[in-house]
């Protein structure tokens, strides 16, 4: 039907735009989350960056604008926490924060792995804020990501999940260093560390089957 917005295309467009937005804002001095949480007006930067996106991906930009009701509405969504606060994010399944020295592809390397943290939704936004800030400061792992309020048909748990990635599962000192930082951030419960090897082999938690390499 003419005028109908392809929501799948619009969501892909939003994801790509937010990657560009975060990268460009960081190059201009601060992350998106810093600007949102400080309630800064970054409309001028937003419009410049959207212009770049529109020039490179005109069809995606059109789908995104139509799905939001205009660039002003998109900007308002961002100011209200879309893509920053897990509980307020409905356009994408994950929010990702990389460390300053992040190397592209590092989280997918076979030597890598991640701590898995499951949290009730009532506490997820605050816990994510702490983990995100520590990651952005270079005090935690190489990257972290959190599930959002967008309903994920592949989700196996009603709780929010946070992944904290490290470079090398064999580097036990580093893996446990990250665990201690997480403990200092309020993650007191026992959590598991899963190697990428198990993920690539399609091994997931089942009754009587252990898929975590470390537990602490």
Sheet (strand 113-119) strand order: 94-98, 143-147, 160-166, 113-119, 192-195, 214-215
pLDDT above 70 for 209: no
Q: What is the mean pLDDT of residues 55-82?
A: 96
Which pLDDT belongs to residue 4? 61
Task: Collect contacts of 122-130 with beta carbons under 8 A, ≥24 apart.
Answer: 124/86, 124/87, 124/159, 124/160, 124/162, 125/85, 125/86, 125/87, 127/162, 127/185, 127/186, 127/187, 128/86, 128/95, 128/160, 128/162, 130/185, 130/186
Class of residue 55 by CB neighbours under 10 A (exposed 0-12, middle 13-18, buried 19+): exposed
pLDDT, tens digit (0-9, with 9 covering 90-100), for 90-138: 999 999 999 998 888 889 999 999 999 999 999 999 999 999 999 999 9
Give the three-class secondary structure for 190.
coil
Residue 208 pLDDT level (bands cut at 50, 70, 90): very low
Residue 5 pLDDT level (bands cut at 50, 70, 90): low
Q: What is the mean pLDDT of residues 39-45?
A: 96
Identify the structural domains of the chain with CATH numbers, from first to last.
7-84 (no CATH), 94-215 (3.30.760.10)
131 vs 146: CA distance, rounded Å: 10
Tell me the percentage of the chain whose pLDDT exceeds 90.
79
Residue 202 pLDDT level (bands cut at 50, 70, 90): low
Which pLDDT belongs to residue 8? 83
Which pLDDT belongs to residue 1? 36
pLDDT, tens digit (0-9, with 9 covering 90-100), for 141-192: 999 999 999 988 877 778 999 999 999 999 999 999 999 999 999 999 999 9
């Amino acid at each position: 039907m003419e005028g109908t917005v392809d929501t799948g295309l619009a969501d892909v467009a939003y994801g790509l735009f937010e990657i560009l937005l975060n990268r460009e804002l960081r190059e201009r001095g601060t992350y998106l989350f810093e600007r949102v949480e400080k309630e800064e007006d970054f409309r001028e930067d937003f419009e410049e960056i959207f212009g770049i996106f529109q020039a490179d991906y005109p069809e995606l930009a059109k789908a995104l604008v139509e799905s939001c009701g205009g660039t002003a509405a998109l900007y308002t969504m961002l100011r209200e926490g879309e893509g920053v606060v897990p509980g307020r994010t409905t356009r994408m399944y994950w929010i990702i924060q990389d460390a300053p020295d992040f190397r592209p592809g590092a989280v997918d390397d076979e030597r890598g792995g991640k701590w898995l943290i499951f949290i009730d939704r009532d506490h997820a936004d605050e816990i994510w804020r702490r983990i995100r800030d520590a990651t952005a400061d270079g005090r935690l792992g190489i990257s972290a990501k959190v599930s959002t309020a967008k309903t994920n048909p592949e989700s196996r748990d009603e709780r929010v999940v946070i992944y904290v990635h490290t470079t090398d599962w064999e580097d036990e000192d580093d893996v446990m260093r990250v665990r201690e930082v997480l403990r200092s951030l309020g993650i007191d419960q026992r959590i598991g560390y899963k190697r990428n090897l198990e993920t690539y082999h399609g091994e997931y938690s089942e009754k009587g089957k252990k898929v975590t390499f470390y537990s602490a």
